[in-house]
Structure 1
Amino acid sequence: MTDVSVAGDIESRVLSAIDDDAVVELTTALVQAPSENPGGTESAAVAVLEKACREAGFDVEITEVAPGRPNLTATLAGGDGPGLMILGHSDVVPAGPNWTGDPYRVRRDGDLLIGRGTTDMKGGLAAAVGAMKAIARAIADGHAAVSGPVQLVCTVDEEEHGIGVRDFVGRPSRHEFAGCIVAEPTDMQVVRGCRGASYLEIDITGRAAHSGRPKDGRSAIEAAASVIELIRADQRALDEHLDDLLGAGTWNVGTIAGGQGISVVAPTCSLGVDRRLMPDEDVHRIAEVLRSAIRAARIDTDGITVDVRVTMEMPGFATPADHRLVTTAVDAVTDAGVPTSVGGWSAACDGGFVSRDLGIPSIVLGPGDIHSQAHQPDESIDVADLAVAARTYALSALRLLS
């Protein structure tokens, strides 16, 4: 067992080695390498991250999962035991309108860095690099050791279809991991569970006819309305059984398009549906249940056909409140200087794949706030939050891998 005073001295040395200015500089450089998605433009930002990681002496691997779309893993070597994974993504949502300046030219307003991706989630990536660099320096100086590797994983396409994380979890790893911290913006609250996300496309085909004699046709729009009623009924059923951490799965009909003209019975209609998933739910099973309900309601008869397709799935996850990863993270945030709490998250993230497919216990913990800052005009992050995040990641690694 490590002597408490020795452990405290090691942590102090590592924390003092964190370069807050370098974390800010890397955040700025990452933001100023635009990586909007849709667009498949992550390569410039990954090149910035790769350069920083190689200069820090990490073992860096680049895997192109699609043309111009590279995943990155950067590993700080440790002992042969299980390590700590820190997970992030390089893509950002499009800047959109209503910015007061260039979204890809970082501006500083007091303690705020303003730019697309500062919060979601290039600040989290930079904080992870800053923590790993400080640990590496302490190891090189003989002041610290870790029992397993610390590995930063940066994937592409998190904001759309998750091709980056799907590729990552499908490849064999040389390391085992005791836990994964997803560095998404949680305002440094420890998120031990997330719902997943999924998309379903529902295409309905009917038969056109003159609107003067609508019974000659079969309205795809009316059939779509019946499908929506099935979805609403299922939502009511879901809401009757709420989970204490994550609530319930939810449906949202986000898009609808159909019809040929006002004077024509609609021959087609399409629905774009979002279904948020509980950790034990499978969207393909949900789609099959919906198909069965459509058949039972006889919606797809008498000239109407309904096709239900799953076009995206991001699984949810939940890690027990008393898991060492959770309790260590809570103590690390507190010792880094800010209050925290443990709870669930309404958003989804790549951590669900790591938890489900690799069996690695996962939490979400990062600087910035997803609700008030991410995906908005003049997205920003407080430089103090970056410093707290870097210290939290460093303390978590040292304590988990002691």
Structure 2
Amino acid sequence: MPPPSADAITALAETVDAALVETLTCELVEQPSVNPGGTEGAAVAVLARACREVGLAVTTTEVAPDRPNLLATLGESAPAPGLLFLGHTDVVPTGPNWTGDPFVVRRDGDLVIGRGAADMKGGLAAVVAAMAALSRAGEFGITLSGLVSLLATVDEEEHGLGVRAVVADPPPHDYAGCIVAEPTSLQVVRGCRGASYLQIEVTGRAAHSGRPSDGRSAIEAAAAVVWLIGRDQAEMAADPEPLLGFGTWNIGVIEGGQGINIVPPNCYLGVDRRLMPGESVTAVADRLAGQITAAGIDGDGIEVTVTPTMEMPGFATDAEAPLVLAAAAAVEQSGAATSIGGWSAACDGGFISRDLGVPTIVLGPGDINNQAHQPDESVSLTELVTAARAYVRTAVALLADGS
């Protein structure tokens, strides 16, 4: 079978329904699904209804009460691996300085304004519209050799309960690639750093501040740990790698002590460590614990424990991978400029890459740096539609018989 013509692919991409993209984005935004809070159920119900209305097969699986993952699939069976789209249905809390209700959608010209518009309910709507268009591929003489699926997970913004459940019990399909529809301003992201959290507990011995030598200061020991972390950061920064740079530390929380006139017997550090592809939080924690012991910080009345509490893996996909090249060409053919590179943010795609072995990229509408997690979050409707058309073109490039 000859590959589909450029005219046929363009005609199929042009069937993306802008009204569907706009309506579904607005409906999803107006279901708050704030995390923490465990309230994704109503948003998933809206997404499931929309998927069924365009002819997709939908299953939902609760990973916690009222926190269902959704899998929507175009096609019943296929001879070759398909294409997976990945997104999440939770949003971060609103915070201050909004100029209107965050969950009542407003329009400002081309912009759709509301919490989650960019991160990432607009991206989910663009995927649904793309899959609706792909369901008409046969009308344009295009046959897809693999299934196209949307996986929408819960709890991406906090602990990854949704994607962890997915990799523990994967979908019953094979995929040649995964596109995470997070906001990248339509840039093709082929690699992301991961994220991890660690708790560092320091215990010492209380004493009267008039005789501090009778005690052991947990805060002083914690300060020495902070110095070690700073040294490690400087060493990593001195040897960056081209795509993603280097891992980073952030000490986000310090709590300790009982009073000004008491030698502090406890101190707590809450630490964020961004992971490079292939790194694990367990290895990072073990290495830091070893450095603490080697520096003589613990012992003689001081005890330090380093406990990993969260890990989201990083990933890197080869620059010449078919998924990467097809997605970049698809964006350009859809009328937008793009580039291929890395991302400092983390996302669920690391689990799909690491645990399921599926080549993964991040590509979506909206600006992660200037819109996501901010007051008056917004996304361009034009960019949403362009993303949907690029998704159609990517799927055809990867899956069309004869291509």
How far residue 372 of structure 1 moved from its aligned partner, in angstroms, is 0.6
Counterpart residue number, 1:97: 96
Q: Give the residue type in structure 1 aligned to 2:365.
A: P
Distance in 2 (CA, whole Å) between partners of 1:246 and 1:136 is 37
1:337-352 equivalent positions in 2, closer than 5 A: 337-352=335-350
Normalising by structure 2, we get a TM-score of: 0.97
1:195 to 187, 193, 215: 193
- Asked if 1:385 is matched to 2:388, the reply is no
Number of residue-to-residue matches in the alignment: 399
1:235 to 233, 247, 260: 233
Distance in 2 (CA, whole Å) between partners of 1:240 and 1:112 is 41
The answer (yes or no) to whether the contact 2:233–2:248 under 8 Å persists in 1 is yes
Counterpart residue number, 2:319: 321
**Counterpart secondary structure, 2:264:** coil
Distance in 1 (CA, whole Å) between partners of 2:171 and 2:96 is 41
The worse-fitting range, judged by mean Cα deviation, of 70-79 and 84-93 is 70-79
Counterpart residue number, 1:179: 177
Counterpart residue number, 2:290: 292
Write out the 4+ residue segments of structure 1 that deviate beyond 4 Å after TM superposition. Answer: none
The answer (yes or no) to whether the contact 1:252–1:273 under 8 Å persists in 2 is yes
The answer (yes or no) to whether the contact 1:135–1:144 under 8 Å persists in 2 is no
**Counterpart secondary structure, 2:249:** strand
Counterpart residue number, 2:85: 86
1:55-94 equivalent positions in 2, closer than 5 A: 55-77=53-75, 79-94=78-93
Structure 2 residues without counterparts, runs of 5 or longer? none
**Counterpart secondary structure, 2:216:** coil
The worse-fitting range, judged by mean Cα deviation, of 54-63 and 347-356 is 54-63
The answer (yes or no) to whether the contact 2:8–2:140 under 8 Å persists in 1 is no
Counterpart residue number, 1:306: 304
Counterpart residue number, 1:397: 395
Structure 1 residues without counterparts, runs of 5 or longer? none
Normalising by structure 1, we get a TM-score of: 0.98
Distance in 2 (CA, whole Å) between partners of 1:111 and 1:2 is 39
Q: Give the residue type in structure 1 aligned to 2:315.
A: F
Distance in 2 (CA, whole Å) between partners of 1:44 and 1:144 is 35
- Asked if 1:163 is matched to 2:161, the reply is yes
2:359 to 347, 361, 364: 361
- Asked if 1:244 is matched to 2:239, the reply is no
Counterpart residue number, 1:108: 107
Distance in 2 (CA, whole Å) between partners of 1:166 and 1:362 is 16
1:370 to 365, 368, 371: 368
Distance in 1 (CA, whole Å) between partners of 2:17 and 2:54 is 12
How far residue 173 of structure 1 moved from its aligned partner, in angstroms, is 2.8
How far residue 142 of structure 1 moved from its aligned partner, in angstroms, is 6.6
Counterpart residue number, 2:271: 273
**Counterpart secondary structure, 1:98:** coil
How far residue 237 of structure 1 moved from its aligned partner, in angstroms, is 1.2
Q: Give the residue type in structure 2 aligned to 1:166.
A: R
Deviations 1:230-284 (A, max 9, x none): 1111111111211000000111111100000001111110000110000011110
The answer (yes or no) to whether the contact 2:12–2:140 under 8 Å persists in 1 is no
How far residue 13 of structure 1 moved from its aligned partner, in angstroms, is 3.1
Distance in 1 (CA, whole Å) between partners of 2:325 and 2:293 is 48
Deviations 1:283-309 (A, max 9, x none): 101101111111111211111111110
Distance in 1 (CA, whole Å) between partners of 2:14 and 2:278 is 42
Q: Give the residue type in structure 2 aligned to 1:69.
A: R
The answer (yes or no) to whether the contact 1:23–1:130 under 8 Å persists in 2 is yes
Counterpart residue number, 2:137: 138
**Counterpart secondary structure, 1:146:** coil
- Asked if 1:119 is matched to 2:118, the reply is yes
Q: Give the residue type in structure 2 aligned to 1:111.
A: D
2:204 to 187, 191, 206: 206
The answer (yes or no) to whether the contact 2:81–2:173 under 8 Å persists in 1 is yes
The answer (yes or no) to whether the contact 1:13–1:143 under 8 Å persists in 2 is no
How far residue 137 of structure 1 moved from its aligned partner, in angstroms, is 2.5
